Structure 1
Amino acid sequence: MPNLYGAWTRTRPRLLLALPPLLLAGAIVCAGLSWRTESANREIAALEAGRDRPVAADAPAPILLARVLQLARRDATEEMEPLVAALESRDAPALLARARYALGNARLRRALNLIERGQLDPAGPLIVLARQEYRRALQARPEFWDAKFNLDVASRLIRDFPEIDRQVGDELKAEPKKIWTDIPGQPRGAP
């Protein structure tokens, strides 16, 4: 016991001298992290308010997601793709799933606009790309119900418009297999 008390009396002054610089360093680090978080929150709020701000690919993941969502509202899919790719390298599967879902929605909206105007040929590839994005969103976050639902909708669009799969020719050669939907658990044939 006397050795422990003697060691404490020898090291206590050194610890008391080292404690203020350590506390100061910790306070500086906490202030820097707080400033960085506040700056990121301001950037996200500006993007959500609709202000167009460029975001670098090395920005924090929440800022990348905010920019992707802003671009999705404008259907700027070409600008979204590099940001979504940058999110893949981060360890944020929930944010990546939301970004892929937004990219799929933007492509599906564009495809639905084309379908409403009767332009089925250019709508097909967009639907296929939207389905791929929904699948990738589900790979990142398997319980993402909205992505499951939209994947189902996009898959049914391809089955409902079999001429999208047409390769050559002006006439649609409808096969009975391609007209009926494939609902699991439902018998094939007439409804």
Structure 2
Amino acid sequence: MSRLRKLRWLALTVASCAVGVAVWQGMIWYDHARDQRRITAALAHQEVAITPDTGLRVLFARGYGQARLQRYREASAAYRAVWNRTYGADGSDPDGLAARSRYNLGNLYARRSVAAAESYDIDSARTMAELAKQAYRDALRAAPDYWPAKHNFEAAQRLVRDLPTHDGEASTDPEAKPDVWSQMPGFPRGLP
């Protein structure tokens, strides 16, 4: 083979690789642009078609948008879908959406708990506070250093403890008022 012929083959190979990479990058760009349009629509409170291959960020944005409209059932369904597809499935969560989805779900439950307590529906308030605590625990399991979840978990524990019982008084059960140090995750028990 002549030197010119080898250069032509090399140029053809490089050109075909470049075209392949360009097509691949174009597909990635198109997917990101499509997801960005869906995220914008979800945050603008427009209906977004949810399919099994919908991106996690789109689901998260849908949950956030529905929560802002106080559509708790739809928001919790979107957050649960994010959790199931990240932490619940194979544990891969490159964007950290598993912990954030559980944190937001816990916030939904905490808001509903406070609203129920203000309307004197103590049973619902306790149930929602317990669900909030579980969601915060899940967030901490997915991301142990997630400080907002630690803070809200502690607040949810205090909320449950301070809710009145059916007698109209705050709970006086010794198990309901343990030492403060035992309630603070990540802090040692006893003296410093």
- Unpaired runs of 5+ in structure 1? 1-5, 186-191
Q: Return 17-26 or 132-141, whichever deviates more.
A: 17-26
Partner Cα separation in structure 1 for residue 41 and residue 106 of structure 2: 24
What amino acid is aligned across from residue 47 of structure 2 in structure 1?
D
TM-superposition CA deviations, 1:49-106 (whole Å, max 9, x none): 3323242342111111111111222333332344334323232261111111111111
Contact preservation (8 Å) 1:111, 1:127:
yes
Residue 108 (structure 1) shift:
1.0
C-alpha separation in 2, matches of 1:33 and 1:179: 52
Q: Which residue of 1 aligns with 2:132?
A: 130
Q: How many residues align?
A: 175
Quote the Cα distance in structure 1 between the aligned partners of 2:102 and 2:134.
9
Q: What is the RMSD of the two structures over their aligned residues, measured on CA atoms?
A: 2.8
Q: What residue number does 1:53 align with?
A: 48
Q: What is the match of residue 180 of structure 2?
A: 183
* Bigger Cα Rg: 1
Question: Could you say which residue in structure 2 is the equivalent of 1:76?
Answer: 71
When normalised by structure 1's length, the TM-score is 0.77
Cα distance per residue 1:13-51 (max 9 Å; x no partner): 322222322222221221121121112112112222332
Aligned pair partner of 1:109 in 100, 106, 111: 111
Letter in 2 for 1:100: R
Query: Which residue does 2:85 correspond to in 1?
Result: 89
Instruction: Indicate if the aligned counterparts of 1:77 and 1:103 stay in contact, CA closer than 8 A.
Output: no
Instruction: Give the CA deviation at 1:183.
Output: 0.9
Residue 123 of structure 1, CA deviation:
1.2
- Unaligned 5+ segments in structure 2 are 87-91, 183-192
> Distance between the aligned counterparts of 1:82 and 1:176, measured in 2?
35
Q: What SS does the aligned partner of 2:180 have?
A: coil
2:189 corresponds to which residue?
A: none
Relative distance call for 1:82 and 1:49 in structure 2 (3 A) is closer
Counterpart AA for 2:104:
A
**Relative to structure 2, which stretch is displaced further, 170-179 or 58-67?**
170-179
The code of the aligned residue for 1:183 comes to V
Q: Alignment identity in percent?
A: 29
**Bigger proportion of residues as helix:** 1
One-letter amino acid of the counterpart of residue 14, structure 2? L
Secondary structure of the structure 2 residue equivalent to 1:22:
helix
- Residues 110, 156 of structure 2: 8 Å contact kept: yes
Contact 1:97/1:138, CA 8 A, preserved across alignment: yes
Q: Distance in 1 between matches of 2:53 and 2:70?
A: 23
> Is contact 2:126-2:160 (8 Å) kept?
yes
SS at structure 2 position matched to 1:177: coil
Where 2:70 maps in the other structure, the secondary structure is coil
